[in-house]
Structure 1
Amino acid sequence: MAKTNDRGFENREIILDVLTEVLENGSFVHLVLNQALQKYQYLDKPNRAFITRVTEGTLEYLIQIDYIINLYSKTRISEMKPLIRSLLRMSVYQLIYMDRVPDSAVCNEAVKLAAKRRFQGLKGFVNGVLRTISREKASLVFDTPSLAYSIPQWLYEMWEKRYGSEKARIIAASFLKDSPTWVRCNMSRADRGEIIASLERQGVSVEECPGLPIMLSIRGYDYIEGLEAFLKGLIQVQDVTSALVGEAVSVKEGDYIIDVCAAPGGKSLHLAEKLRGTGMVEARDLTYQKAARIEENRLRCGYQNMKTVVWDALCLDQDACGKADVVIADLPCSGLGIIGKKPDIKYNMTWEKLKELAALQRDMLSLVWQYVKPGGMLIYSTCTIDAMENEENALWLRERFPLEPVDLSQRLGRIVQADSLKEGYVQFLPGVHSFDGFFISAFRRVG
């Protein structure tokens, strides 16, 4: 099998194409990168790891990288050819943040790539900028938190105003740290010990989650689809905070549950398991593509008490009104709590988009609460840390509809302690807590 450095040029070509697609065409990095890794499955684990690290790392540090390039280039990065811009960005990431990659190799490979992509006339420019940065990198200083943590200034200031300087710094820093993949055990198919043994047989490093035995953190695997435990439906990729949605709900056998924006289906699968083969979980989402992802996971995990439905949450389903024991409304949001997993989020979000998303959530909530039967539960959750989408929308719900908050203080175990739990909600903050940024609020329909 070829070593990483033997395939260095091919790896960098793949990275260049992924980054250009993401940064110039606005595609989602997790989708484009996964497609590339699927296409080049013949690459071994070290090569795949290199591609992933440089791609994601370049996006994580993009603000810092652009600042560095503009310091040492006579041509502003905004004025460069798109391919050259991506090439310099990925190369600067390697120069600054990857000690094991020789600077000379980074510069030489970048020049070769420029030539192969028919930019022979810019080889000297690429070489000059990169070699200057290589010489001067020890003297670089990032004198603002926004620059130090590669976070847009407006976003950092919003967190600082909301959470204070110390928490804003912790949140921003957390997005640059390596984090494990969390998976939830499918206890209907195997016990936790069997699942852990299966993972460890394939060389996966496994740690259990204190306070939530169904959750495991895993590291050191190549790709998730290659794990026996995944293929057999013994595990589902899901963050701890997302799994807590299922823990917040008191389900009983025979319940009818609607998950209105369910893809990829983690919460629906969790609730189907808790129903022990009884009742029905109806997992809905907007498109056939999203529904197909849910159905794929349902079939892999083997749940018969769950079905997938294509439905727009902005369209009222009259037939469902007053029928559901539980409604899960994990709605489209800004995703500011998962920037560590999807770094392109921080460059695509704006204050105007935040307001539009908060309004969209209210439009959906004004419809879907009606599916809850009197005495039933509504869970409203998001993977963001924006108060406008979270606490403010939860208060809006409570004030306008026959819904009362549900005390969560005895439902989430030892994972989190917060005064707000008694008021029916909790906000997880990246870095402050050990998991994704996430918001959960719980209501009971009165009547």
Structure 2
Amino acid sequence: MRLHRNLVFAVIDALHMIFNEGEYADKVIEKVLRYDKRWGARDRGFIAETTYDIVRWKRLYSEIAEVHEPYSKPHLFRLFGVWCVLRGIRIPDWKQLEGTPERRIKGRFDELSKIRKFRESIPDWMDELGEKSLGSELWTKEIAAQNQQAEVILRTNTLKIPKPQLKAFLTKEDIATEFIDGYPEALKLVERKNVFVTEAFKDGLFEVQDASSQLVAPFLEVEPGQRVIDACAGAGGKTLHLASQMQNKGQLIALDIYESKLKKLKKRARRNGVHNVETRAIDSTKVIKKLHNSADRVLLDAPCSGLGVIKRNPDSKWKLEPEFVDRIMGVQQDILQNYSKMVKKGGQMVYATCSILPQENSDQVKNFLDSENGKDFEFVRERNVFASETGFDGFYMALLKKKS
């Protein structure tokens, strides 16, 4: 591979914004890719994938390069030099990369790879928490799986098109996809491409949604004509999936504390041809109270640590703090206690997270069922989804039924 100076400098700029200025990686990539309109798909791919790679392996590379935050520009080039050596890319004759110690880099890599927290490039606290929560064997497998690049998975919008027809449609647009066993609406991209510029996307024929995330809506067992509430809807990925499962029939209420996210949901719903969704911002406790004992189905896709989706958000390893994990568990239990009141007798509720920690998942469900509000519910089933077993995101979901 021949390195081009303007592309490498764009990567260095991106790393500075992510590491030193605390910006989110996905937003930084969007910004940097606008630097030069002449860049083609391969150039853009190099910038995005190289940046994400160095973000993913930040701790390991920093230990090898012997640099620490805040990173100066020479330090960032040293990280880039480590990336080149470990990928077998010839170091160009640039002054910024002069004296890159190739043999020493390989030696340090071999040495540090024997220690999990360096090999998997994670903070000490996260490694300790993962091992304590999941046990050494599962945590070792799981964090290794979370360091693999995430696949691009599409969810067919069955309101508009059957999956085989979507596959054929995308093939005509030079997007090769394949089916995934056990995921009835999913298509996996054979090669990473920008699917958002396709006519199929503009026509609302699919959404980008990880395969594990596609398991949540079916777990709720919705039916056309029901009143369904997505209580932590966000920008609506699972809301739209619920709408397609309801065949656009019945009432689907999308709630969130952020009005801005619900605005995005409305826009996506229009593109998807979804017309049974109503959005309501949770701006006071009255919003929930008005819905008490009214819903056939309630989805609680609760805020969480996101430890199941690190492969998708590698910078979260450096932004997440142990105090946040403790705090979010309080929020999760509050959501279970308060939002469960919207389920009517005989109705069902799913509690879901994109975390792999039992204390955010099965422990929360048990604590809820042992509480006064939880006595009205019975446990039906749960599912732990691990990246090390599926290759997709880590997820948890529990189905509870309100006693008649």
Post-superposition offset of 1:5: 5.2
Task: Tell me the equivalent position of 1:49.
Answer: 45
Please say if residues 255 and 325 of structure 1, whose CA atoms lie closer than 8 Å, have aligned partners that are also in contact. Answer: yes
- What aligned pairs does 1:38-437 form with structure 2 within 5 A after superposition? 40=36, 42-70=38-66, 76-78=67-69, 80-81=71-72, 83-97=73-87, 99=88, 101-105=89-93, 108=94, 111=96, 127-128=98-99, 131-132=100-101, 134-140=102-108, 141-142=111-112, 143-312=114-283, 317-400=288-371, 401=373, 402-407=375-380, 424-437=381-394
Superposed CA deviations along residues 165-196 of structure 1, whole A, max 9, x for unmatched, are: 32222112112223321111111211111100
Aligned AA for 1:327? V
Post-superposition offset of 1:79: 6.2
Distance 1:431 1:41, change over 3 A: farther
Distance 1:90 1:281, change over 3 A: farther
Partners of 1:77 and 1:350 lie apart in 2 by: 18
Partners of 2:146 and 2:269 lie apart in 1 by: 31
Distance 1:360 1:313, change over 3 A: farther
RMSD across aligned positions (CA): 2.3
Aligned AA for 1:138? K
Post-superposition offset of 1:56: 0.4
Distance 1:240 1:150, change over 3 A: same
Task: Tell me the equivalent position of 2:403.
Answer: 446
Partners of 1:339 and 1:314 lie apart in 2 by: 33
Identity between Structure 1 and Structure 2 (%): 24
- Pair 1:21-2:17 in alignment: yes
Partners of 2:78 and 2:283 lie apart in 1 by: 42
Partners of 1:314 and 1:40 lie apart in 2 by: 48
Partner-residue secondary structure (3-state), 2:390 = coil
Deviates further, 222-231 or 61-70: 222-231
Partners of 2:69 and 2:150 lie apart in 1 by: 32
Partners of 2:177 and 2:71 lie apart in 1 by: 45
Post-superposition offset of 1:221: 4.1
Partner-residue secondary structure (3-state), 2:229 = strand
Post-superposition offset of 1:439: 0.7
Superposed CA deviations along residues 235-258 of structure 1, whole A, max 9, x for unmatched, are: 111122211111112222211111
Post-superposition offset of 1:284: 2.2
Partners of 1:386 and 1:425 lie apart in 2 by: 14
Superposed CA deviations along residues 70-101 of structure 1, whole A, max 9, x for unmatched, are: 1xxxxx524653x444343234323323x3x3
Please say if residues 134 and 357 of structure 2, whose CA atoms lie closer than 8 Å, have aligned partners that are also in contact. Answer: no
Distance 1:15 1:161, change over 3 A: same
Partner-residue secondary structure (3-state), 1:15 = helix
Unaligned runs of at least 5 residues, structure 1: 71-75, 112-125, 408-423
Please say if residues 376 and 445 of structure 1, whose CA atoms lie closer than 8 Å, have aligned partners that are also in contact. Answer: yes
TM-score normalised by L of structure 1: 0.83
Task: Tell me the equivalent position of 1:418.
Answer: none
Partners of 1:79 and 1:236 lie apart in 2 by: 38
Partners of 2:117 and 2:169 lie apart in 1 by: 43
Partner-residue secondary structure (3-state), 2:232 = coil
Post-superposition offset of 1:39: 6.1
Aligned AA for 1:213? P
Distance 1:137 1:406, change over 3 A: same
Superposed CA deviations along residues 120-174 of structure 1, whole A, max 9, x for unmatched, are: xxxxxx634xx22x24223222220111111223322332233333222211211
Aligned AA for 2:58? L
Post-superposition offset of 1:406: 4.7
Deviates further, 46-55 or 24-33: 24-33
Partner-residue secondary structure (3-state), 2:153 = strand
Partner-residue secondary structure (3-state), 2:98 = helix
Aligned AA for 1:63? R
Post-superposition offset of 1:396: 1.4
Partners of 1:9 and 1:314 lie apart in 2 by: 55
Partner-residue secondary structure (3-state), 1:257 = strand
Post-superposition offset of 1:50: 0.3
Deviates further, 336-345 or 137-146: 137-146
Aligned AA for 2:39? L
TM-score normalised by L of structure 2: 0.91
- Pair 1:10-2:6 in alignment: yes
Aligned AA for 1:286? I
Please say if residues 167 and 432 of structure 1, whose CA atoms lie closer than 8 Å, have aligned partners that are also in contact. Answer: no
Post-superposition offset of 1:224: 2.3
Partners of 2:34 and 2:346 lie apart in 1 by: 46
Distance 1:403 1:37, change over 3 A: farther
Aligned AA for 2:364? N
